[in-house]
Structure 1
Amino acid sequence: MWRGANGPADRIFSGLAYLVPLASTLGYGQGLINQVPPLQPVRDVIAPFALLLGGNPLLSIVIFILLLTLVINNPRVSHFIRYNVMQSLLLMVILWLLQLVFFQFFLQMLGVFDLYQMFLEVISNTIFLGMAGVCGFGIFQCVVGRYAEIPALSDVVYTQIR
């Protein structure tokens, strides 16, 4: 969907929005990053944001609320920025739900099994790779100046952004 010109500032600010969910998911991929050395430069770039968000859990909620109120509900901000910020916030919500369901419910059930550690590592790596892929796609599309069309997620974003 095209809604006007997307200048360089719009592209940069839209791409920066995807760093928040990407930094939030870095902890899930530590095992994979340690096993695959080419991923370590990615960790080094994202680590400062992850330390900022991980150091204070309340900060991610504050960032969420600030972006929601100051960017998404502000019609003076370009549609391109509001669309990508809303999409990144939905990715954060998905990550929070995964964390809530998986780590609270499944960990209590699977704590008695011997394969617990392997299962935990597989699920954590899957969450990291999935979120990193989606965020990487979103950042690339922002840099190019196109809307990042993620199935199902983009439909929800279009209903929320006017």
Structure 2
Amino acid sequence: MTRRGSQTPGDRILACVIYLLPLLESIRYGGYLFDLMPLLAKLILIPLSPLLMLYGGFVQGVPFGGLIIFFALFLLVVRNRNLSHFLRFNTMQALIIKIGLSLIAIVSQLIGLPLQTAAGSGNLLVAVIANMVFLAVFGGSLYAIIQTAFGRYPDLPVVSDAAYQHLDH
């Protein structure tokens, strides 16, 4: 669905790039699936490996790197009314997905389910949950990137509603 007029190519590209954050974050949950399907691992990990190294290096190398990226996007993009609604909406949506992933990681650590190290764990419940998280976030991010590239607002259940509520119309 297209709202708020047409989008510039620059807005489309930036919005697509921003969705790479949750997409890259979801990779750590795909270990079990990648062990089961090595071809899938090659199709996903080889093209994304330069971005994974760059993003992982920043997040792990800079203290609070992930938090810095989050607040920079939130304060400089989402809160900047001079930028297009399209870019602000997509940034907010990507940040909400990222918040969801962070909450899943925190809850899984608190209850003792090592979702991020599901590969080879031998625990079927952990593997199923990790696969669901990976497929939902990776698929949702990929869908959002494709829709955004065409200049459409991606409609992700619950996430889109929260993003619209956050952005004052």
- TM-score greater than 0.5 by the shorter chain: yes
The structural deviation recorded for 1:116 is 5.8
**Partner residue in 1 for 2:52:** 50
**Partner residue in 1 for 2:18:** 17
Matched-pair contact (CA < 8 Å) for 1:25–1:131 = yes
**Partner residue in 1 for 2:88:** 82
**Partner residue in 2 for 1:104:** 110
Structure 2 gap ranges (5+): 115-120
**Partner residue in 2 for 1:3:** 4
Rounded to whole Å, the distance in 1 between the matches of 2:36 and 2:89 is 35
**Partner residue in 2 for 1:41:** 43
Matched-pair contact (CA < 8 Å) for 1:23–1:47 = no
Q: What secondary structure sits across from 1:25 in the alignment?
A: helix
RMSD of equivalent CA atoms: 1.9
Moved more, 14-23 or 49-58: 49-58
The structural deviation recorded for 1:76 is 1.1
Rounded to whole Å, the distance in 1 between the matches of 2:108 and 2:71 is 24
Which residue identity does 1:102 align to in structure 2? Answer: S
Rounded to whole Å, the distance in 2 between the matches of 1:12 and 1:148 is 14
- Between Structure 1 and Structure 2, the one with more helix by share is 1
Aligned pairs, how many? 156
Structure 1 gap ranges (5+): 109-114
Which TM-score applies when normalising by structure 1?
Answer: 0.87
Rounded to whole Å, the distance in 2 between the matches of 1:44 and 1:116 is 26
Rounded to whole Å, the distance in 2 between the matches of 1:23 and 1:47 is 10
What do residues 15-46 of structure 1 show as CA deviations (whole Å, max 9, x unaligned)? Answer: 11110011011111022123220442222222
